[in-house]
Structure 1
Amino acid sequence: WQFILNDYVEISKNLSPIDPSEPFPTQTMLIDYVRVFQKGAGTQPPETPVPATGTKWTKQNAAGDRKWSALTSSADGNKLAAAAWGGTIHTSQDGGATWTEQPKSEVRNWVSIASSADGSKIAALYDWGGYIMTSQDGGATWHKHAMSGSINWMSIASSADGNKLVAVAKDHVIYTSRDGGATWMEQPKSGSRKWRAVTSSADGNKLAAVVEDGGIYTSSNGGATWTERTQAGSRTWTSIASSPDGTKLVATAAGGYIYTSTDGGATWTERSVDGRHNWTAATISADGSTLAATAGGGGYIYVSTDGGATWTAQTSASTPNWSALASSADGSKLAAAAYGGMVYTTTQQIEDGTLAAAEAAVAQAEASKSPADIAAAQARIAAVKDARKKAALQARLNAITSAPSITTPNQPTQPTNSTTIPQPHGGAVSLATAGKPCSHIASAEPATAPAQYQGRVLRNSVRF
């Protein structure tokens, strides 16, 4: 084995040819494993072709091959901003098709970037920076906000309007701003920890942050106080993302799994996906149904459209060293960036199992016409992202609910104790009550019925 740590190679001595049965070691943070063998000393086992799964991804060559380290998206997925380690910040106004370098951001070792919902306000951090950088015009111009000393910044997050910001660093307390980054306040109750990543709700009040080799902490008052969520456990956390309302969260751990919460971080569910990976980033849609995560060091992008229950490898994007991920608010548009690679975007909306589930639910509703099945189908249709397919399914469901139904007879004004109803075959059915007069019996009339019911022949039928 050779171990690649932080872009240099540490060679293990006395390397021997690879045995096909040799297990692959468990990955840990910042370490990728490369199988090696001496020429002529052995043969590499043939690779099994990977089946194509997931949606179609496009390599956006206009962004360039760089050490991309951070990525953010507007709510509609059209405005993107990407930052490169040892480079500048680049922006796109068309979902990644074309890119503009923003030279006024300056060349820095960028580590994190965040934007407002409309993409006009951007905030970014660089490694061991003495400033936090913000832009009010989509990245064209930048403002430096001096901080006390050089800080090992790790992550920054923004509210939907871009006014409330939160930033975390290793061995520092958490910092917050309520004026778009013009002024910053230390939050002492967060504690000085090895903070790794942070996320924010749309209103900037509900925050969640992860500690490297530690726990997950949440705040419901903009960072003034924090609660450790012990049920999540202590792990090598690498990223965390939040729905706009702050109730649904997704977090990733290096050399481990993906974890989701639907109650603001109080409880967590482990999502094993297809095994352990060096997860580097994650996103979650507004309704919490569509999640995505990147496996760095030669792994795939994985997408879930059912809240994390099942995941699909996005094989068309291949396996570069994924470092960053961004999503539109509805989860239909994704963008991913590779460290020492390119930026990739989805070219069609993420559907996976959502569309199939909706189609099956509508078919069931068409067959049964039961209110319960119709309601279930309506819920499935609401999760479909493709507007055209969603409209087609809705039309089918509307046809069920608008179909002519049997007209209910008018309620008689005079109830009765008994009545006789002639039958189509020539006989008659008599109905009577043993108690008070009944309006329902008074409204009785002949009805069409199946020839048999539960194996028994039917001759007389009445509806009332």
Structure 2
Amino acid sequence: MPAPDWAGVQAERGKPVQRYDTFQALASHGSRVVAGAAGGVILTSTDGGAHWARHALAQPSSVLAVAACPDGSFAALDFYKKVWVLAAGGGEWAMRQLPTRSDLLALTCDPRNRLWAVGARTSILSSADKGGSWQVRDLGDDAILTTVQFVDEKRAVITGEFGAVLTSADGGASWQPQPKIEGDFYPYAALFTDAANGWVSGLAGVIKRTRDGGRTWATQANPSGVPMYALLRVADELYGLGAGGRMVRLQGEQWQAFEHGQAIPAYLAAGVALDARSMLVAGAAGALNVIHLPTQVAQAPTDSKEAR
């Protein structure tokens, strides 16, 4: 009986991307890309995903979301009520404790380099010093907020459980509830291209679209028939990434199946644009793939009048 190939095992373990990695988040700033995974692993690339460096965070940790700030810094939301921050110049990831008992699910960095995290009990946390201190707002509803996006310096949108939609027109100083998305909608992902036009994806593959800043929503057919866990804009095209490694692309007002030509056996959870014709997608089973897009670009639909 031949001896086990321990050298091969060690070589496999030395690779930055492991087959068991479950990537849940991506963010990019220029050619720098950060991927966050369950199990407390962060991968960083300085060349658009061509090469990766692996970083193991202090346990317990599990990265749920990653955000890139305009100043070049990054932040990663940890399930264990922590945020990890990487300075614009690189270095080590610094841990910041979150002052809340609520589970947080989503993270973003606004145009003023402030961090925003949202989650259970309609909790909204913000930090103007990269997690050194936090302002905590609990709206008191028994609902989970699942997405947060700043469209520009003043206007932002949060979506959540039971069809919750909150908007801000003053940079997050106040949040106004909008009519709920019907059907107790649970959004996995949301993407607004401006203050008026947005999309949400949810359970059973449902995709909805608003033209009035989240006040009303219409269902759009999803030909994949599977949930889309991430919505992504590349140049002027919109894409959905979901279960079974499937993707859809919006053409005009219709979503169509997008064949990316790669063997991705598990679900896709996140994506970032690398340039106008390529994206990086990530998910379970170590999926971390660059996808090159067709040359023809169909502009994402917008309305001339934005919500006010």
TM bracket, shorter-chain basis: 0.7 to 0.9
Once the two structures are TM-superposed, the CA of residue 300 in structure 1 deviates from its matched residue by 0.5
Alpha-carbon spacing, 1:231–1:79, altered in 2? closer, same or farther (3 Å)? same
Residue 326 of structure 1 corresponds to which residue in structure 2?
271
Alignment equivalent of 1:222, drawn from 171, 192, 210: 171
Alpha-carbon spacing, 1:106–1:328, altered in 2? closer, same or farther (3 Å)? farther
Residue 298 of structure 2 corresponds to which residue in structure 1?
354
* 1:132 maps onto 2:83 in alignment: yes
Alpha-carbon spacing, 1:101–1:282, altered in 2? closer, same or farther (3 Å)? same
Once the two structures are TM-superposed, the CA of residue 98 in structure 1 deviates from its matched residue by 0.7
* 1:159 maps onto 2:110 in alignment: yes
Residue 136 of structure 2 corresponds to which residue in structure 1?
186
Answer yes or no: is the 8 Å Cα contact 1:105–1:142 preserved in 2: no
Residue 250 of structure 2 corresponds to which residue in structure 1?
304
Deviations 1:356-407 (A, max 9, x none): xxxxxxxxxxxxxxxxxxxxxxxxxxxxxxxxxxxxxxxxxxxxxxxxxxxx
Answer yes or no: is the 8 Å Cα contact 1:155–1:197 preserved in 2: yes
Residue 171 of structure 1 corresponds to which residue in structure 2?
121
Once the two structures are TM-superposed, the CA of residue 194 in structure 1 deviates from its matched residue by 1.2
Deviations 1:47-79 (A, max 9, x none): xxxxxxxxxxxxxx86332111111122x5x32
Residue 237 of structure 2 corresponds to which residue in structure 1?
290
Once the two structures are TM-superposed, the CA of residue 319 in structure 1 deviates from its matched residue by 4.4
Q: Once the two structures are aligned, what percentage of the paired residues are identical?
A: 21
Answer yes or no: is the 8 Å Cα contact 1:303–1:314 preserved in 2: no
Alignment equivalent of 2:155, drawn from 195, 202, 206: 206
**Which is greater in Rg?**
1
* 1:248 maps onto 2:197 in alignment: yes
Alignment equivalent of 1:121, drawn from 73, 77, 87: 73
Please give the alpha-carbon distance, in whole angstroms, between the structure 1 residues aligned to 2:38 and 2:155.
29
Once the two structures are TM-superposed, the CA of residue 260 in structure 1 deviates from its matched residue by 2.7
Alpha-carbon spacing, 1:236–1:276, altered in 2? closer, same or farther (3 Å)? farther
Please give the alpha-carbon distance, in whole angstroms, between the structure 1 residues aligned to 2:274 and 2:192.
11
Answer yes or no: is the 8 Å Cα contact 2:205–2:222 preserved in 1: no
Answer yes or no: is the 8 Å Cα contact 2:121–2:138 preserved in 1: no
Please give the alpha-carbon distance, in whole angstroms, between the structure 2 residues aligned to 1:190 and 1:246.
26
Please give the alpha-carbon distance, in whole angstroms, between the structure 1 residues aligned to 2:257 and 2:111.
29
Once the two structures are TM-superposed, the CA of residue 217 in structure 1 deviates from its matched residue by 2.1
* 1:93 maps onto 2:46 in alignment: yes
**Secondary structure of the structure 2 residue equivalent to 1:225:** coil
* 1:313 maps onto 2:254 in alignment: no
Once the two structures are TM-superposed, the CA of residue 89 in structure 1 deviates from its matched residue by 0.7
Please give the alpha-carbon distance, in whole angstroms, between the structure 2 residues aligned to 1:284 and 1:267.
22
Once the two structures are TM-superposed, the CA of residue 272 in structure 1 deviates from its matched residue by 1.1
Please give the alpha-carbon distance, in whole angstroms, between the structure 1 residues aligned to 2:258 and 2:77.
30
Unaligned ranges ≥5, structure 1: 1-60, 356-464
Please give the alpha-carbon distance, in whole angstroms, between the structure 2 residues aligned to 1:83 and 1:195.
20
Answer yes or no: is the 8 Å Cα contact 1:290–1:331 preserved in 2: no
Alignment equivalent of 2:24, drawn from 69, 85, 94: 69
Please give the alpha-carbon distance, in whole angstroms, between the structure 2 residues aligned to 1:323 and 1:299.
5
Q: CA RMSD in A?
A: 2.9
Please give the alpha-carbon distance, in whole angstroms, between the structure 2 residues aligned to 1:124 and 1:196.
15
Aligned length: 283
Q: Which amino acid aligns with 1:171?
A: R
Answer yes or no: is the 8 Å Cα contact 1:334–1:346 preserved in 2: yes
Unaligned ranges ≥5, structure 2: 1-14, 300-308
Q: Which amino acid aligns with 1:71?
A: L
Residue 285 of structure 2 corresponds to which residue in structure 1?
340
Please give the alpha-carbon distance, in whole angstroms, between the structure 1 residues aligned to 2:93 and 2:74.
9
Alpha-carbon spacing, 1:166–1:197, altered in 2? closer, same or farther (3 Å)? same
Once the two structures are TM-superposed, the CA of residue 174 in structure 1 deviates from its matched residue by 0.9
